């Protein structure tokens, strides 16, 4: 099989789906016939994503939920099952970042706040989604956790964020082993630096400078590529892939770049 027809009709939740990578994943899922529950704390943007999916002929619904709140996560899962009668998959995408600082300059309150969303939120989503997927007797259940390049590499001035994302990768690997006998795959996507609304009104010149620093290709990633990878992991094309932390970063995680003078630069002419 070389297409994604296996995902058609599957029901999936995407958290943090009102914008950025979560929105890209949701649109990709809907474009391929999946029923998607858009979840976010931003109701207006979330409903806009739903409207866009419906206007294109897709099937989507919105549910407002804070992933750090256990009751709201439970309600999100219940809403999905009540609306569509089943649950096949969850994308734990919701997350926050922290200001870049050395570890001793973070407060414990900042640490607790970030962990409550970036790690505890993934735990809660996985816990309750797995229960619903098992009860749904899904023939191809899946969890996709959006971690980060900072979840497989250390990064100066990003201690608490990197800690949370490393935790997500660890949780992913353990959950993959727990649920492999039940045909549920659990994988993590580890994005590098992508072109999303996080850049806000940053001048293009500055964005390009950052791209040259953070990406070996000198370009920021297109969120659609995250959507394509998440679609693959939700499909029957990837049933033997589980417990993986897949980097999507133009090679950033491959190693250190050493400047070198080519002997024959004329090949580029």
Q: Which is catalytic among the residues 84, 161, 210, 240? A: 161
240 noted as active-site residue:
no
Assign 3-class secondary structure to the chain. CCCCHHHCCCEEEEECCCCHHHHHHHHHHHHCCCEEEEEECCHHHHHHHHHHHHHCCCEEEEEECCCCCHHHHHHHHHHHHHHHCCCCEEEECCCCCCCCECHHHCCHHHHHHHHHHHCHHHHHHHHHHHHHHHHCCCCCEEEEEECCHHHCCCCCCEHHHHHHHHHHHHHHHHHHHHHHHHCEEEEEEEECCECCHHHCCCCHHHHHHHHHHHCCCCCCECHHHHHHHHHHHHCHHHCCCCCCEEEECCCHHHCCCCCCCCCCHHHHC
Catalytically active residues are 161
């Amino acid at each position: 099989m070389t297409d994604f027809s296996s995902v058609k009709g599957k029901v999936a939740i995407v958290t943090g789906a009102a914008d950025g990578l979560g929105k890209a994943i949701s649109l990709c899922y809907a474009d391929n016939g999946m029923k998607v529950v858009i979840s976010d704390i931003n109701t207006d943007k979330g409903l806009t994503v739903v409207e866009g999916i419906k206007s294109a002929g897709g099937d989507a619904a919105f549910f407002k939920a804070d992933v750090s709140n256990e009751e709201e996560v439970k309600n999100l899962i219940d809403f999905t099952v009540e609306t569509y009668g089943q649950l096949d998959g969850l994308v734990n995408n919701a997350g926050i970042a922290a200001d870049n600082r050395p570890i001793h300059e973070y407060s414990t309150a900042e640490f607790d706040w970030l962990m409550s969303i970036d790690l505890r939120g993934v735990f809660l989503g996985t816990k309750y989604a797995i229960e619903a997927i098992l009860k749904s007797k899904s023939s191809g259940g899946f969890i996709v956790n959006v971690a980060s390049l900072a979840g497989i590499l250390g990064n100066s001035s990003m201690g608490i964020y990197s800690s949370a994302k490393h935790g997500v990768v660890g949780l992913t690997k353990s959950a993959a082993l727990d649920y492999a006998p039940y045909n549920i795959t659990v994988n993590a996507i580890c994005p590098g630096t992508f072109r999303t609304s996080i850049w806000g009104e940053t001048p293009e010149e500055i964005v390009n400078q950052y791209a040259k620093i953070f990406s070996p290709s000198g370009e920021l990633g297109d969120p659609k590529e995250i959507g394509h990878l998440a679609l693959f992991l939700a499909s029957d094309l990837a049933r033997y892939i589980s417990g993986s932390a897949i980097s999507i970063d133009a090679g950033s995680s491959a190693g250190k770049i050493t400047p070198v003078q080519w002997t024959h630069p004329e090949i580029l002419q």
